[in-house]
């Protein structure tokens, strides 16, 4: 379905922005040059009548995004956390995309619950409210369980949301393909892979059983952490399009005035949000991938309540170590270390100059340190980083897209709570603790033990592997390999077998 018919979808996107007045707002936010403004006007104005009208009661940009559909709303949610990039006024307009979208009728929600759970709402819940929050994919009702009287949140997918997302993502795939075809330089950014990654993330959000499982797993990871609360799912009242979980009572993270009026230290909360995210990403390799203000609350006792686990991120142990070394390099202003890690991990092609890359990183990192955080332009910083990656031929790492995106979102949340926050200073204790535990002698010993234990588990297979390989080498002997070549191969194989047997013995001893 990714054919030229998507051209129409993309034309309507531009036309909708022009018709609603969002085009000018977006260009102003980006400080677009006059040439781009003129081009946008010339190309957009004749087709404005083709655009969606949207809700005239909404601000122009929000009006355009909500009219275009859920995928566009997701992007708007991300930008709502970055007032330093899009401006305070625009960020305020976009913030309503988090949980203040128009709801669908409660009766439809009740019909969905009946169809999914197999029981009417009146039997499941003693109380069931009108929608208390509505976002791009689902809306939430406050309810009370009929069996035990506990307050719960009932999340119900919007009707037709699956088809709407397929339509939007189909157009994104087409746009990415056209971009790679017409702009060869864009291929290093792998736009098609990026869209595919986004598609997989969204598909996970459209099955609320997976969200319930993510909430349960996340709660296990943070069970011993102080200052964080996770609402747990009620599995008997959860299905593909319905999720019931504990009710989370607290103030919205985005309501700064209410938090301060309640006596909460918003600057301290901002630091905790940032450190909490880094801890989950580095320590657990499992983190909340959609940590905007709409998914965070502050409980009366000061705990940070995290909910809405539709998007979760995972990074393996090796990627975590690389990420930590890059962070600690920037924190310590050790740009040679950052450059070395990039090259060793294969993030930068091996034929590029490492010293030159280190100098380019210094030009990015140095303006951060010693500067007033409120005066740092994140837009300019991101632009500079883009120039560096383009210059050195770095490809987009799709496995790190969600981590990088969430880092940007979390920093935006933290900065909304404390405009003077310094990301690097706040991150330093978390990253240094991880590096100390995972990149030092203790980590090497722990890795060695894991290798030996793995050899122990595969011990029963080792004799068969050695026998088969020896047979192959001996049969190949004189015909395919001279004796002087065969002898070191046999020695190497026998040495490996001896090491493996030693590993089996140590593995048995370690249990």
Q: Which are the contacts of 273, defined by CB distance < 8 A and separation ≥ 6?
A: 253, 291, 296, 304, 410, 413, 414, 417
Identify whether the C-beta of residue 219 lies closer than 8 Å to the C-beta of residue 228. Answer: no
Give yes or no: 418 in active site. Answer: no
Closest by Cα among 274, 268, 364, 284 to 317: 284
Helix (H, G, I), strand (E, B) or coil at 174: helix
Q: How many CB atoms lie within 10 A of CB 396?
A: 17
**Catalytic residue from among 168, 290, 308, 418:** 290
Q: Which are the contacts of 141, defined by CB distance < 8 A and separation ≥ 6?
A: 106, 109, 128, 129, 130, 131, 132, 153, 154, 156
Which run of H or of E encompasses 399? none
- What token pair was written down for 389? 């990656």
Rounded-to-integer distance, Cα 320 and Cα 334, Å: 18
Torsion angles phi and psi, residue 111, rounded to 5: -65, -40
Could you give the C-alpha distances from 113 to 107, 119, 125, 161, 439, in angstroms and in order? Answer: 10, 7, 11, 16, 49
Active site residues: 290
């Amino acid at each position: 379905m990714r054919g030229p018919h998507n051209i129409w979808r993309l034309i309507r996107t531009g036309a909708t922005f022009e018709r609603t007045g969002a085009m000018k707002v977006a260009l102003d936010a980006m400080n677009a040059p006059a040439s781009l403004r003129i081009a946008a006007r010339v190309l957009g104005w004749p087709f404005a009548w083709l655009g969606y009208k949207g809700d005239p009661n909404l601000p122009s940009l929000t009006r355009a995004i909500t009219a275009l559909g859920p995928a566009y709303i997701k992007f708007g949610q991300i930008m709502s956390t970055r007032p330093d990039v899009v401006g305070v006024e625009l960020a305020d307009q976009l913030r309503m995309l988090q949980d203040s979208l128009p709801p669908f009728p409660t009766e439809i929600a009740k019909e969905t619950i009946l169809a999914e759970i197999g029981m009417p709402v009146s039997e499941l819940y003693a109380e069931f409210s009108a929608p208390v929050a509505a976002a791009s994919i689902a809306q939430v009702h406050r309810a009370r369980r009929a069996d035990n009287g506990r307050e719960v949140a009932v999340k119900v997918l919007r009707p037709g949301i699956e088809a709407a997302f397929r339509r939007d993502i189909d157009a994104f795939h087409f746009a990415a393909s056209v971009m790679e075809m017409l702009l060869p330089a864009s291929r290093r950014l792998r736009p098609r892979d990026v869209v595919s990654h986004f598609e997989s993330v969204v598909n996970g959000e459209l099955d609320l059983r997976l969200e319930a499982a993510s909430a349960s797993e996340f709660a296990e990871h943070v069970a011993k952490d102080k200052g964080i609360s996770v609402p747990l799912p009620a599995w008997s009242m959860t299905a593909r399009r319905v999720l019931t979980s504990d009710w989370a009572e607290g103030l919205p993270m985005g309501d700064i005035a209410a938090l301060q009026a309640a006596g909460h230290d918003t600057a301290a909360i901002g630091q905790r949000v940032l450190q909490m995210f880094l801890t989950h990403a580095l320590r657990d390799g499992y983190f909340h991938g959609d940590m905007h203000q709409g998914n965070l609350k502050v409980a009366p006792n000061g705990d940070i309540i995290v909910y809405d686990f539709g998007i979760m991120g995972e990074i393996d142990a090796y990627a975590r170590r690389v990420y930590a070394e890059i962070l600690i390099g920037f924190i310590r202003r050790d740009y040679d270390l950052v450059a070395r890690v990039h090259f060793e991990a294969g993030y930068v092609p091996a034929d590029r100059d490492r010293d030159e890359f280190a100098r380019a990183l210094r030009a990015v990192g140095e303006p951060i340190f010693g500067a007033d955080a409120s005066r740092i332009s994140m837009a300019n910083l991101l632009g500079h980083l883009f120039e560096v990656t383009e210059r050195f031929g770095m490809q987009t790492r799709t496995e790190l897209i969600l981590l990088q995106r969430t880092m940007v979102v979390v920093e935006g949340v933290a900065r909304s709570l404390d405009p003077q926050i310094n990301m690097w200073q706040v991150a330093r204790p978390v990253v240094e603790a991880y590096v100390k535990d995972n990149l030092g002698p203790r980590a090497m010993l722990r890795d060695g033990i894991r290798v030996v234990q793995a050899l122990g588990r595969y011990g029963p297979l080792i004799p068969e592997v050695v026998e088969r390989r020896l047979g192959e080498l001996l049969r190949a002997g004189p015909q395919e390999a001279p004796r002087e070549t065969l002898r070191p191969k046999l020695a190497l194989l026998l040495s490996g077998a001896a090491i493996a047997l030693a590993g089996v013995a140590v593995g048995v001893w370690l249990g």
